Amino acid sequence: MGIMTRRRASIRITMPLAGLVMFWIISAPLAAQDFDPGRALYQNHCQQCHEQWVHTRERRRVSTLGGLREQVASWSVHAGLQWTSEEIELVTRYVNRRYYQLTE
Ligand code: HEC
């Protein structure tokens, strides 16, 4: 009788703890790599055609942030992606941060 109750008590404590440890193991790597959705979208859908050269060439088309947003929007249509304005914004900011550094 004494042993049974002690075993049950230890299961009651161990199960929630195991859940907590599992959660911690699974969530730690996700938090560690700082995920940039704009970069991911660009890498998945745009990078196969161009990376650096198109944004750093001498006669690049983009010279304003609004112009960049327009290019990103129109490329999302060309590539058949129909991005939402939020996705367009994310990619515009990523490309700007990485290559253009435009402020307006
Ligand atoms: C089918 C190939 C292809 C795909 C896919 C593509 N692009 Fe392009 N992109 C090009 C080419 C080629 C040019 C250069 C056109 C020119 O000479 O104006 C260009 C130009 C650009 C420019 C203007 C660069 C500058 O400053 O002159 C931007 C911005 C751009 N692309 C963004 C994107 C984004 C964002 C995506 C993903 C949604 C994308 N592109 C997908 C081929 C592609």
Distances (CA, A) of 20 to 9, 15, 26, 49, 60: 18, 9, 10, 44, 52
Decide whether any atom of ligand 1 lies within 6 Å of the 92 Cβ. no
Segment 3-30, tens digit of pLDDT: 666 677 676 767 666 766 666 666 665 5
Which atom of ligand 1 sits closest to the CA of residue 68?
29
- pLDDT band with cut points at 50, 70 and 90 for residue 90: very high
For the record, the structure tokens of 11 come out as: 């299961």
Decide whether any atom of ligand 1 lies within 6 Å of the 79 Cβ. yes
Question: What is the pLDDT at residue 34?
Answer: 81
Decide whether any atom of ligand 1 lies within 6 Å of the 76 Cβ. yes
- Structural domain spans, the chain: 1-33, 37-100
Q: How far is the CA of 35 from the centre of ligand 1 (A)?
A: 23
Q: Which one has a higher pLDDT value, 51 or 69?
A: 69
Question: What is the pLDDT at residue 52?
Answer: 87
For the record, the structure tokens of 32 come out as: 């560690």
pLDDT over 60 at 96, yes or no: yes
Which atom of ligand 1 sits closest to the CA of residue 83?
38
Q: Compute the distance between CA of residue 104 and CA of residue 16 in angstroms, rounded to an integer.
A: 52
pTM greater than 0.85 (yes/no)? no
By CB atoms closer than 10 A (0-12, 13-18, 19+), residue 75 is middle
